[in-house]
Amino acid sequence: MDFKSTYITHTNCITPLGFDVESNLTSIAAGISGIERHEDSRLMASSFYAGAIQDDAIERAFAAISADKNYTRLEKMMILALYPVVKDSGVVFTKKTGLLIATTKGNISALTGITPPDSAYLAQLAQNVGDFFNFIAQPVVVSNACVSGILAVSVAKRLIQSGMYSEVFVVSGDELSEFVLSGFNVFQAMSDAPCRPYSANRSGVSLGEAAAAALVTTDAKAAKAKITGDASVNDANHISGPSRTGEGLVRSLVNAMNEAGVGPNEIDYISAHGTATPFNDEMEAVAFSRTGLTDVPVNSFKGYYGHTLGASGLLETVIGIECMLHNKLFKSLGYDSHGVSEPINVISENRECTINRFIKTASGFGGCNTAVVFEKIHHGDR
């Protein structure tokens, strides 16, 4: 069976570092982090570090594209992320134009009392976002913990290769909420300082919020990257702790690279998960070592954004693709002294580097892992 090639052609992101890709890259290049100390008793009784987007920035930006007041804050973030992607792509929607939304908790802040409001249902959130753009097809939602954003790219590729859709607009998003902050807090997983992925003194996550969007299509004309391999294999070990041997991530990496027809020595960069919990980062180091990826430059973007949950996989892919296009590696912000048992190659300074292929990885509660291989398009050769 022959499968069509799929590409990412248009991207955008809504983050504390800006409401377009360029502003985000500028801040990242300057080592600016979106993580700040917050005192907001609505979200948490004590102060906390997180990457938060200002409410009025969202309101202003949304008012510029619509007078409709009936969207939740997260829906606005997602719509803002998707808006230029839809517009710039020029795709004329058919019933085979897909909309795929990735989120872990959706409009969780809307939950009060014992009856969930309509907006608390993720399919309703997706429909609201879809209706803004007049998508014809019913939206699809992926809700698979913190791999959701990158898993959605993999799902989009599969949906197109299956013939179910001709192109898929992917949007990922999650907000800061009391619900999630309290949960990570009771899991003792929150750092009391900005997070330090892969560092010896790392002490947990800084949470964040963001939305990101991308168009996945077979039309290579405006392609930023080709999606050449994807896999999402479970650890089959524990529902919250990652596998000590990194089993699921190892298999995801191996399967994705096999599908892409490449070996570890052909991977130029890894945009990893790096949440800065003691166990996650160690598991990743073990997995990268087991798959022969120890020498590949690797970073986590969590030091710039915090952990944006369902948004993270796609947001970090969007930035990773720009790194590949511009042949730039950005330092893994927050990394100070090496704190994992394997000598993985954590990027400690911004530098130029030819990147033809990179891998995005993510892991999450429930033992899930995702790895996707992206390849640079040389628009001359086709």
Partner 1 sequence: MEALKQELKERIIKILNLEDITPGDINDDDALFGDGLGLDSIDALELIVMLDKDYGIKLSDPAEGKAIFHSVSTIAAYISEHRTK
Partner 2 sequence: METGKYYISAYCSIAANRITVNGELVFDAAGLPFPDFAKQAYQHTGMAYPKFFKMDNLSKLAFLAAGVLLEDKIEQGAENNVALLFANKSSSLDTDLRYNEMIADRENYFPSPAVFVYTLPNICLGEISIRYKLFTENTFFIFADFNPEFFAGYAANLLDTKKADEVLCGWIELCGDQYRAFVYRVSPGGGIEHNVENIKTLYNK
- Residue 13: name the closest of 367, 318, 282 by CA: 318
Site for partner 2 in 143-162 (CB under 8 A): 143-145, 151, 155, 158-159, 161-162
Shortest CB 185 distance to partner 1, Å: 11
Q: Nearer to partner 2 by C-beta: 238 or 351?
A: 238
Tokens standing for 124? 């309703």
124 binds, options partner 1, partner 2, none, Cβ within 5 to 8 A by partner type: partner 2
**Residue among 10 and 202 whose Cβ is closer to partner 1:** 202
**DSSP assignment letter at 309:** G
Q: Judged by CB, which is closer to partner 1: 238, or 326?
A: 238
Distance (Å, whole) CA 132 – CA 62: 12
Choose between 208 and 367: whose C-beta lies nearer to partner 2: 367
Measured from the CB atom, is 235 or 284 closer to partner 2?
Answer: 235
Q: Kindly state whether residue 137 participates in binding partner 2, applying the rule CB under 8 A.
A: no
From candidates 57, 61, 65, 123, binder to partner 2 by CB under 8 A:
123
Contact flag: residue 188 with partner 1 (CB under 8 A): yes
| Length of the chain as a residue count | 382
Residue number with CB closer to partner 1 (133 or 365): 365
Determine, following the binding rule CB under 8 A, whether residue 186 of this chain makes contact with partner 1: yes
Which region among 52-60, 204-212, 243-251, 273-281 touches partner 2 (by CB under 8 A)?
Answer: 243-251
Window 10-69: residues binding partner 2 (CB under 8 A): 45
The one of partner 2, partner 1, none whose footprint includes residue 241, by CB under 5 to 8 A per kind, is partner 1
Binding site partner of 235, from partner 2, partner 1, none, Cβ cut-off 5-8 A by kind:
partner 2
Dist CA 127 CA 110 (whole Å): 17
Amino acid making up residue 373: V
Two tokens, residue 359: 């891998």
Residues 194-253 that bind partner 1 (CB under 8 A): 238-241
179 binds partner 1 (CB under 8 A): no
How is residue 266 annotated by DSSP? Answer: G
The Cα 315–Cα 58 span in angstroms is 17
Question: In this chain, which of 187, 326, 341, 350 binds partner 1, going by CB under 8 A?
Answer: 187
Q: Which residue from 73, 72, 129 is spatially nearest to 101, judged by alpha carbons?
A: 129
Q: Does 312 bind partner 2 (CB under 8 A)?
A: no
Structure tokens that stand for 163 in this block: 């013939």
Q: Is 138 in the site for partner 2 (CB under 8 A)?
A: yes
Amino acid code (one letter) for 192 = D
- Burial of 92 (C-beta count, 10 Å sphere; 0-12/13-18/19+): exposed
Distance between CA atoms of 21 and 13, rounded to whole angstroms? 6
Binding status of residue 46 toward partner 1 by CB under 8 A: no
Contact 209, 13 (CB under 8 A): no
Going by C-beta distance under 8 Å and a sequence separation of 6 or more, which residues neighbour residue 263?
257, 292
* Helix or strand holding residue 298 (H, E): strand 297-300
Strand order in the sheet with 35-38: 35-38, 48-51, 207-208
Residue 356 vs residues 157, 162, 322, 342: alpha-carbon distances, Å: 20, 27, 12, 25
- Compute how many residues bind partner 2; rule: CB under 8 A: 59
Which does residue 110 bind out of partner 1, partner 2, none, counting CB within 5 to 8 angstroms by kind? Answer: none
Strand blocks (E) in 80-209: 97-102, 140-142, 167-174, 207-208
- The contact mask relative to partner 2 for 160-179 (x = CB under 8 A, - = no) is -xxxx-------------xx
- Can you give the binding site for partner 2, defined by CB under 8 A? 1, 3, 45, 104-106, 108, 111-112, 114, 116, 120-124, 126-127, 138, 140-145, 151, 155, 158-159, 161-164, 178-179, 182-183, 185-187, 231-240, 247-248, 251, 255, 364-368
- Can you give the binding site for partner 1, defined by CB under 8 A? 186-188, 238-241
